[in-house]
Amino acid sequence: MDVRKDSTIKRIVIANSKGGTGKSTIAVTLANFYALSHLNTTIIDHDPQGSSSNWVSKREPNAAVVSCIKAYQAPRSNTTKGWFLKPQAGTDRVIIDTPSGLELSEFRSTLESAHAIVIPVTPSSVDIHASTRFIAKLLLCAQEKRQLNQIAVVANRCRKNTLAYRQLEKFLASLNIPFLTSLRDTQNYVKTIEAGSSIFEKNPKLMAQDIQSWGPIVNWLEATFEESGLRRSG
């Protein structure tokens, strides 16, 4: 899981209109990984529940720094929305945590400016049905902007030896976008995030299985960033 620092902010959107898919868990875990990789990292939290913001507020003073912009709050009367949502100078990675019930029309500019979009999907028939509609709409928008190669899905909260997981795996394999990995349904995420930490900051031996599952996500993101840079410079 090697990362590269350059002069351009890389924006990653974690999105699914269906609630309960673990968007905030993925957002803060990914932010923590990049912060530990010595990249200046900011979370932009659009979710009114403020889960990502709450995680940042629980961070220990000596922990790897992750900044947070509470996008669900209205900016001050003398501040424009664009300025309010602007990360500080020197930021390397921006992780955008989107709300449940996401309307693509409202977040069109955010999605269009993203270097990568990660869609978490959980193993239930209800989630698969809702995600099918969301992904179809997103792919239609992405096709217009030639962003199809910047979208991938992650199976989240999975128990592999179940019928629900097999149905989810079949669904994700049918999509014309990368299916990166499956993240386990484990208390490792719950306990570390409640403490303002993540699996990357705890005993690596105890977290080894979960840490390993993040390799495909990080590797795909970095490859996508590199390809995006080549397209824009070409």
Q: Is residue 138 part of a domain?
A: yes
Q: How confident is the model at residue 167 (pLDDT cuts 50, 70, 90)?
A: confident
Q: Is residue 1 part of a domain?
A: no
Q: Is residue 3 part of a domain?
A: no
Q: Is residue 50 part of a domain?
A: yes
What is the predicted pLDDT for the residue at 5?
77
**Burial letters for 64-85: b for 16+ Cβ neighbours within 10 Å, e otherwise?**
bebbbbbbeeeeeeeeeeeeeb
What amino acid is encoded at 118 in this protein? V
Give 140 or 52, the one with higher predicted confidence.
Answer: 52
Q: What is the CATH number of the domain that holds 62?
A: 3.40.50.300
What amino acid is encoded at 102 in this protein? L
What is the predicted pLDDT for the residue at 106?
83
Number of domains in the chain: 1
What is the predicted pLDDT for the residue at 231?
53
What is the predicted pLDDT for the residue at 234?
44
Whether 128 and 167 have beta carbons less than 8 Å apart is answered as yes
Average pLDDT of the chain, as a whole number: 89
pTM (global) more than 0.75: yes
H or E segment at 139? helix 125-144
- When mean pLDDT is compared across 2-11, 18-27, 57-66, 86-95, the lowest value belongs to 2-11
Whether 64 and 32 have beta carbons less than 8 Å apart is answered as yes
Q: Is residue 2 part of a domain?
A: no
Q: Is residue 5 part of a domain?
A: no
Q: Is residue 4 part of a domain?
A: no
The 3-state DSSP composition of the chain as helix, strand, coil percent (nearest 5) reads: 45, 15, 40
Q: Convert the pLDDT of each residue in 66-93 to its tens digit.
A: 999 999 987 776 677 777 888 999 999 9
Distance CA(109)–CA(91), nearest Å, equals 20
Q: Is residue 211 part of a domain?
A: yes
By residue range, what is the domain housing residue 64? 10-233
- What burial class does residue 94 get, using C-beta atoms within 10 Å of its C-beta: 0-12 exposed, 13-18 middle, 19+ buried? buried
